[in-house]
Amino acid sequence: MTLILTRSTIRALLADAVADVEAAVARAHRDLADSRAVLPAPPAMALPGASGTFLAMAAASGPDRLAAVKLLADLPDNRAAGLPVQRSTVLAVDADSGACVALLDGAELTRTRTAAATAVATRALARTDATTLGLVGAGPLAYAHVRALLPARAYEHVVLWGRTPARAQDLAARITAELGLPAKVLDNPRAVTEAADVLCTLTPSREPLVEGAWLAPGQHVNAVGAPPRPDHRELDTEAVVRSRIVVDAYDTARAKSGEVLIPLAEGALTEDDFRRELGDVLSGRAEGRTSAADLTLFNSVGVGLQDLAAARLLIDLAEERGLGLHVDLAG
């Protein structure tokens, strides 16, 4: 039987599982570093004359006994029609038998595992005395990030900016009311960048919103929001070149991340500058932050292994709680 998990069911399962998702994502990256998981770079498919791209984000994990693929549709034209620009579905099969284990809506799963990956990287790379969290972007991913980053961190306040002022004010009010952390909207990305100890960029920007000249030694930056396209980025070349870069997966970054591919094409960066993977840092094979003065950058493209780790957790939680719909696809 195949377990089907809808967005609302996934949201309910994840409501009290922030720490569990972070632990699952951290373990997945360590498994990748230890060659217990497989993560190819995702192929991108574009139809002639269309602006959309379809990505098949595949992974397989020995410890989780799953192989999975998330089909991500990135469709910029949806914005004008009032539809989500990105939609995704995750298919998971048993690694031993090949049986279809589960089919999951990708929206809430992706948002939560993305924030969890940022939390994992931030705990590994940011200074322990960081007190100000900065957000460039005010959508649902921004709230998910605050929720994921708060546990075990001594943040004193949040500063943020969004393209829509009313939306930014709503987010600040929600952070304060629901998470108990004072949050303030600032005038522009520069003000947020200069005020933050830990900065998260969470926009689907094509052009840089953060300049390297605004960054200070000791900061940690999570570049998260840009779509997996080689011509989109949130940080300018100077910001990337000044940083000690950690990627979620080198092969994926080399194929899909404008954050590193644009500086690489300009000759400002070499491939060796972004070979350092998060799993290698977590496993101790590579150094992350080496001093309090380091400017560190987590270049988060998002990978199928994170989806698999979240799917494994959701499948187990759903079975424990008797949630979801079971369907015999072979019937």
Please check whether residue 115 lies inside any domain of the structure: no
Whether residues 191 and 269 fall in one domain: yes
Whether residues 93 and 132 fall in one domain: no
Whether residues 170 and 309 fall in one domain: no
The values of phi and psi at residue 132, to 5°, are -115, 120
Q: Which residues are the active-site residues?
A: 70
Whether residues 188 and 283 fall in one domain: yes
* H helix or E strand, kind and range, residue 87: strand 86-94
Please state, as a whole number, how many other Cβ atoms lie within 10 Å of the Cβ of residue 93. 18
Distant-in-sequence, close-in-space partners of 119: CB < 8 Å, separation ≥ 6: 22, 145, 148, 149, 151
DSSP 64-78: TTEEEEEEEEE-GGG
The predicted structure's pLDDT at residue 227: 86
The predicted structure's pLDDT at residue 49: 86
What's the CATH code of the domain at 160? Answer: 3.40.50.720
- The strand pairing partners of 157, in sequence order, are 132
Question: Which residues in the chain show pLDDT less than 50?
Answer: none
Provide the number of structural domains found in the chain.
Answer: 2
Whether residues 295 and 316 fall in one domain: no
Whether residues 174 and 70 fall in one domain: no
The predicted structure's pLDDT at residue 229: 87
Whether residues 195 and 268 fall in one domain: yes
Whether residues 145 and 217 fall in one domain: yes
What's the CATH code of the domain at 26? Answer: 3.30.1780.10
How many Å separate Cα 200 from the centre of its chain?
10
Structural domain harbouring 12: 2-109+305-327
Q: pLDDT by residue (tens digit) across 247-302? A: 999 999 999 999 999 999 999 999 999 999 999 999 999 999 999 999 999 999 99
Please check whether residue 119 lies inside any domain of the structure: no
Handedness of CA 263, 269, 272, 274 (dihedral sign): negative
Please check whether residue 183 lies inside any domain of the structure: yes
Please check whether residue 7 lies inside any domain of the structure: yes
The predicted structure's pLDDT at residue 151: 84
Please check whether residue 310 lies inside any domain of the structure: yes
Whether residues 314 and 298 fall in one domain: no
Please check whether residue 56 lies inside any domain of the structure: yes
